[in-house]
């Protein structure tokens, strides 16, 4: 069981020793562990440092990369091939030094967005990411309604009026107007929620 964290007290990372036979030894629990165990520790937010048992060299980066490779060989992959190709292409590139900082900032932003979405699931609709999504959907519906609505004075290039779209119920203009009114009411509600 990992030590409890209290504000202001830093928990030292667990030291994991990797032996030549590829076995991993957890010095905190005094037991041999697997890469799956290290992946679980990572998801729990538990810090660890992997060192070569013989030389003492810090090999945490290569072990974390190995965990990612194992995950990517499973059924649920996360890294798209184009991303991997771009990442490989950046090795030796003049931008290589900026990539770690950029990726770390991107992952931090992703984590914050993930937390905001989780909060949105438990809070009222207003002020959440879903509000912006709803506004975007409303704009899309409004544009779609405009496509089907006849426009006043809209004429074809030859001067003839464009025919109105056929309506299955026969009252096309009335139904379009009703839809516009409903969309306007929805937009008013969304704007009220946003303020």
Same domain flag for 146 and 182: yes
Write the secondary structure of 27-78 as one string of H (helix), E (strand) and C (coil): CCCCEEECHHHHHHHHHCCCCEEEEECCCCCECHHHHHHHHHHHHHCCCCCC
Name which of 1-15, 21-35, 51-65, 150-164 the model is least confident about: 150-164
| Higher pLDDT among residues 106 and 33, named by residue | 33
Q: Is the pLDDT of residue 101 over 80?
A: yes
Is 3 inside a domain boundary?
A: no
CA nearest 90: which of 100, 78, 81?
A: 100
Same domain flag for 128 and 116: no
Same domain flag for 96 and 138: no
Same domain flag for 132 and 168: yes
pLDDT tens-digit readout, 19-72:
998 899 999 999 999 999 999 999 999 999 999 999 999 999 999 999 999 999
What range does the domain containing 107 cover? 79-122
| Higher pLDDT among residues 101 and 127, named by residue | 101
Same domain flag for 142 and 170: yes
Is 7 inside a domain boundary?
A: no
Structure tokens at 170: 């026969």
Are the CB atoms for 61 and 68 separated by under 8 Å?
no
Domain count for the chain: 3
Same domain flag for 96 and 50: no
Is 147 inside a domain boundary?
A: yes
């Amino acid at each position: 069981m990992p030590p409890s964290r209290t504000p202001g007290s830093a928990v030292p990372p667990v030291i994991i020793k990797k032996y030549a036979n590829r076995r991993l030894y957890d010095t905190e629990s005094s037991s041999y562990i697997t890469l799956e165990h290290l992946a679980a520790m990572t998801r729990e937010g538990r810090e660890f440092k992997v060192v070569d048992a013989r030389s003492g060299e810090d090999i945490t980066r290569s072990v974390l990369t190995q965990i990612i490779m194992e995950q990517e060989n499973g059924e649920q992959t996360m890294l798209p091939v184009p991303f991997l190709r771009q990442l490989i292409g950046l090795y030796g590139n003049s931008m290589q030094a900026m990539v770690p900082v950029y990726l770390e900032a991107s992952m931090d932003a992703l984590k914050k967005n993930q937390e905001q979405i989780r909060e949105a699931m438990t809070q009222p609709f207003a002020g959440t990411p879903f509000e912006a999504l709803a506004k975007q959907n409303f704009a899309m519906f409004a544009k779609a309604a405009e496509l089907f609505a006849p426009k006043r004075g809209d004429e074809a290039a030859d001067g003839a009026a464009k025919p109105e779209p056929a309506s299955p119920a026969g009252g096309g203009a009335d139904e379009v107007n009703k839809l516009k009114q409903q969309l306007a009411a929805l937009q008013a509600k969304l704007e009220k929620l946003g303020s």
